[in-house]
Structure 1
Amino acid sequence: MQFLDFLHSLQNIEKTRNFNVFKEYTLEGLAKLFQSQSSKHKIHKPIRISVVGTNGKGSTSHYLASLLSILGYKTGLYTSPHLLSPLERFQVFQNGKPQIPKEEDVEAFFRNSVLPDKKEFESLSYFEFLTIFSYLFFSFQKTEFEIWEAGLGGRLDATKLVQADFLVLTKIGMDHSEILGDSKEKICLEKLGILTDVCRGLVAMDPNDEGLKSLIQNFPKNKIPVRILPLDPKPTYLETNFLFAKTALADFVPEKKEQIESISWRNAVRPRGRMEVIGQSPEIVFDPAHNPDAIATTTREFAKSHTSFSLVLGSLPDKDREGILAELVDLPILSLFIWEGEGFGTFPELPEVLGAKTTKVQTEGELLPLFQGSSPVLVLGSFRLYGIVAKLIQNTTNM
């Protein structure tokens, strides 16, 4: 059996969006597997950094890995979800550049390290398996640092089991509230629940909320250093997150502080899929913003450099679609295309105040006129839209 065949045979909650499984979920079984596999494979101990938060954790994780590799450290980066291939989730950064593992290398490692114990892995979910597989793969690669972006929450997230040395907390907002809690305080507690006894330091973005700030400062039970960094907003959210990553890393690796501070945003590799220009003539920009806070940040940033634009918006069924639509009011949107293809949510009646011509679409062909037009296009709402739009752009280019 091959790696991708095995992976796709597992329960994928990201795809089904059946989060009811978390009501009875524990990490106990997975923890035992981590322990047995760690002993069997004699896992080496790099420095590990966990990244949790509602918005910005993906780009912050990417910049941490990029910075460390510029400093000369071989760095593993575990993120989710992926844009086109699951192999993107466990990259190794060297010399400042990310390297998606070659399929043949992954297959060889899977065949030698996983297949002999196949039955022990068969009960795992898609995310659980990718987490422990990446843990083993990074050890095989002899990484010196590892960055672990949490999937959902923290307290019960599979990445908790890597037992990070340091924790980074990005922005807290309302998302997955049916699982994590109906307030920012409850969500923050779930995120901080990823802390284990081996953690040596916590750096958090300033939540601009005294209650949340106090909660973060007092959460660690073992009195580790906690630093809350005031945000210095830059023209783009990516630059803001890069500077946050730099400051956090200087705390964790103080002996490299001068070198870290000398690295500019332009030197770091930009994360794929974040405000990425994926098409020209017309300009087509993709960003995975998928909750009201992120949508507000991304659309207003885009509007600063575009007097008008068209918008393609898709949202998964469990997202706050009404809250997302509310953030589009008063933006210079020429036309709004709502993607309601397979696996996506259905939007409510659209408010007239948007003032844009609105079309609901379910097939790639219905987007074709938009991508053959002249106005800039912003694509938002889900990582899943990246592959759909990239394929359509490629087909349009080849026409």
Structure 2
Amino acid sequence: MPNAKQWLDLTRDNGMSLGLTNTHAMIERLNLDFSNMKVIHVAGSNGKGTACSLMAASLTLSGVSNLMYTSPHVSRIEERFRVNSVPISRQLFDSILEEIHETAQGKDGLRSIVLTFFETTFLIAALCANRTNVEVMIVETGLGGRLDATRCIPADICLLTSISCEHTDILGDTLEQITAEKAAIARPNKPIVVRDMADEGFTKSVLFECKNAGDESIGEEKSPAIPYFVSIPGDKNIKDEAEILVKKLFQIMGLSVQYLEQAKDEVRWPARMQLIEKESNLFLLDAAHNPSGLLRVIPELIEKIKTLSPVVDGKQIWTLIFGTSPQKELDEMLSYVSQLCDKIQPTKIYLTKPLGGRYPGIETQLLAQYEWPIENILQFENAEKVLQSLYQNSFSSNGLIVSLGSLYLQGNFLKHLGLDSDEELSILPKQ
């Protein structure tokens, strides 16, 4: 019989399961109660994590106790569960995991319940929120919304961030289909703040899901949700956009927005446009991992490269590191990386392989076959080997080191840069 941690690792073998049955059954077995807290449920393609972290940071600064559940983790699993902006302790994690493990095994004549890794981590978050008696729980969906495990708990308000065509093999081939799956987080008689995509099909899908809100399979009654569409000016970056959406959501909830601006200035979302100085080198890590996400951060990346990279003989010096997990949109992703390189040509490009993801990273030999804009292409099997190579060079040779392509790759770098402690992974600096 495996222990709780071994069992958690084994749940990875159960793959992905879109459906609410097992998670709902576990919530009932654990007797979880969310009536004494406010629950905010967030779905979308891009900007979910930024919005969640901004909410958590603002609530923390306001003195409102909160738990934020996001996925995946960058460096270690406790990051998925932040209480008052700090990852929970390993001791608390182990204790909660043990209870979920025992409950899933079944006893007193109850059947055992087979859980996926994601379902298990979400249940850890739900039980942790109950144990710590937080006032607000912020929940980020894993994939989609309608059949995501996070849909199993009641929510007081929902947020739908920017939508793009992603996971088309699972969520549907069109923006309308994908929107419908994500907008299905809308709860009966509850508000949902929607990032307006200014697209007729998108709006139609959102309104249909709001009109038909409620999932009877988990005990909800059918009744319309209340949509609030929010337009975002085209010149806003992801953080600006998150601030606009969160401000609207807080106002609807009656929560203070007093610390929202401070939270925006101070929030540190690991591996999202994260600047790091180490060993006389300057790193910029960003975890944009799909084409639409990368396209949105390119203007900010260009600005960072212009302002932070050294100039030698009239040329800006910067190094690109790229590695990614398998994805259907790889060609599109690489075309956007090329766009970045065309704007300001890198001095050298390191291709590497992220470790620790659900699927093995793409082999560097395959990435090297792509038509890169320069000839100086180096291949290393992992982040640690990349760092060993970079440390042999000076700052004037490496310039600004920009790492892109995978959340897991950025997690690998944070680990080997020694930046994976609780304090480093907190989304707020020590107050």
**Residue 317 (structure 1) aligned with residue 333 (structure 2):** no
CA RMSD of aligned residues (A): 2.7
Between the aligned partners of 2:387 and 2:204, the Cα distance in structure 1 is 47
**Residue 368 (structure 1) aligned with residue 388 (structure 2):** yes
The correspondence for 2:210, drawn from 214, 220, 231, is: 220
Task: Please state whether the residue corresponding to 2:11 is helix, strand or coil.
Answer: coil
Identity of aligned residues (%): 24
* Equivalent residue number for residue 345 of structure 1: 362
* Equivalent residue number for residue 100 of structure 2: 114
**Residue 138 (structure 1) aligned with residue 133 (structure 2):** no
Task: Please state whether the residue corresponding to 1:51 is helix, strand or coil.
Answer: strand
**Residue 335 (structure 1) aligned with residue 354 (structure 2):** no
The correspondence for 1:28, drawn from 21, 25, 33, is: 21
**Residue 189 (structure 1) aligned with residue 180 (structure 2):** yes
* Equivalent residue number for residue 6 of structure 1: 7
**Residue 100 (structure 1) aligned with residue 87 (structure 2):** yes
User: Residues 285 and 265 from structure 1, CA distance in 2 versus in 1: closer, same or farther, beyond 3 angstroms?
Assistant: same
Superimposed CA distance per residue, residues 261-292 of structure 1 (whole angstroms, 9 cap, x where no aligned partner): 6x445554222221112344321111110111
Asked if the contact 2:40–2:158 (Cα under 8 Å) also holds between the matched residues in 1, the reply is yes
User: Residues 166 and 341 from structure 1, CA distance in 2 versus in 1: closer, same or farther, beyond 3 angstroms?
Assistant: closer
Asked if the contact 1:234–1:240 (Cα under 8 Å) also holds between the matched residues in 2, the reply is no
* Pairwise CA distance, 1:366: 4.4
* Pairwise CA distance, 1:331: 2.9
* Pairwise CA distance, 1:51: 0.5
Structure 1 segment 71-82 matched on structure 2, within 5 A = 71-82=62-73
Between the aligned partners of 2:83 and 2:418, the Cα distance in structure 1 is 28
Q: Which amino acid aligns with 1:136?
A: L
* Pairwise CA distance, 1:144: 0.9
User: Residues 341 and 259 from structure 1, CA distance in 2 versus in 1: closer, same or farther, beyond 3 angstroms?
Assistant: closer
Asked if the contact 2:195–2:231 (Cα under 8 Å) also holds between the matched residues in 1, the reply is yes
* Equivalent residue number for residue 291 of structure 2: 292
Between the aligned partners of 2:378 and 2:412, the Cα distance in structure 1 is 17
* Equivalent residue number for residue 159 of structure 2: 168
Asked if the contact 2:353–2:361 (Cα under 8 Å) also holds between the matched residues in 1, the reply is yes
Asked if the contact 2:351–2:380 (Cα under 8 Å) also holds between the matched residues in 1, the reply is yes
Q: Which amino acid aligns with 2:302?
A: A
Superimposed CA distance per residue, residues 352-399 of structure 1 (whole angstroms, 9 cap, x where no aligned partner): 46346333332332453335442111111112112322344359xxxx
Task: Please state whether the residue corresponding to 1:5 is helix, strand or coil.
Answer: helix
* Equivalent residue number for residue 393 of structure 1: 417
Asked if the contact 1:12–1:127 (Cα under 8 Å) also holds between the matched residues in 2, the reply is no
User: Residues 191 and 341 from structure 1, CA distance in 2 versus in 1: closer, same or farther, beyond 3 angstroms?
Assistant: closer
Between the aligned partners of 2:303 and 2:48, the Cα distance in structure 1 is 24
User: Residues 202 and 268 from structure 1, CA distance in 2 versus in 1: closer, same or farther, beyond 3 angstroms?
Assistant: farther
User: Residues 206 and 136 from structure 1, CA distance in 2 versus in 1: closer, same or farther, beyond 3 angstroms?
Assistant: same
* Equivalent residue number for residue 247 of structure 1: 248
Asked if the contact 1:340–1:360 (Cα under 8 Å) also holds between the matched residues in 2, the reply is no
Q: Which amino acid aligns with 1:251?
A: I
* Pairwise CA distance, 1:323: 0.3
Between the aligned partners of 2:239 and 2:275, the Cα distance in structure 1 is 14
Between the aligned partners of 2:257 and 2:69, the Cα distance in structure 1 is 27
Structure 2 unaligned segments of length 5 or more: list them: 107-111, 212-222, 307-315, 420-431
Superimposed CA distance per residue, residues 49-88 of structure 1 (whole angstroms, 9 cap, x where no aligned partner): 1100011101111111222223321111000000111111
Task: Please state whether the residue corresponding to 1:354 is helix, strand or coil.
Answer: coil
**Residue 88 (structure 1) aligned with residue 83 (structure 2):** no
**Residue 282 (structure 1) aligned with residue 281 (structure 2):** yes
Asked if the contact 1:44–1:139 (Cα under 8 Å) also holds between the matched residues in 2, the reply is no
* Equivalent residue number for residue 357 of structure 1: 376
* Pairwise CA distance, 1:133: 1.9
* Equivalent residue number for residue 219 of structure 2: none
Between the aligned partners of 2:33 and 2:290, the Cα distance in structure 1 is 41
* Pairwise CA distance, 1:250: 1.6
* Equivalent residue number for residue 152 of structure 1: 143
Superimposed CA distance per residue, residues 226-258 of structure 1 (whole angstroms, 9 cap, x where no aligned partner): 1111113566422332332222222222xx456
Between the aligned partners of 1:114 and 1:339, the Cα distance in structure 2 is 37
Between the aligned partners of 2:68 and 2:20, the Cα distance in structure 1 is 22
Between the aligned partners of 1:243 and 1:42, the Cα distance in structure 2 is 31
Q: Which amino acid aligns with 1:184?
A: L
* Pairwise CA distance, 1:327: 0.8
Asked if the contact 1:288–1:380 (Cα under 8 Å) also holds between the matched residues in 2, the reply is yes
* Pairwise CA distance, 1:298: 2.1
Task: Please state whether the residue corresponding to 2:325 is helix, strand or coil.
Answer: coil
User: Residues 274 and 3 from structure 1, CA distance in 2 versus in 1: closer, same or farther, beyond 3 angstroms?
Assistant: farther
User: Residues 304 and 137 from structure 1, CA distance in 2 versus in 1: closer, same or farther, beyond 3 angstroms?
Assistant: same
Task: Please state whether the residue corresponding to 1:152 is helix, strand or coil.
Answer: coil
Asked if the contact 1:250–1:260 (Cα under 8 Å) also holds between the matched residues in 2, the reply is no
* Pairwise CA distance, 1:319: 4.4
* Equivalent residue number for residue 271 of structure 2: 273
Between the aligned partners of 2:52 and 2:33, the Cα distance in structure 1 is 26
Asked if the contact 2:96–2:124 (Cα under 8 Å) also holds between the matched residues in 1, the reply is no
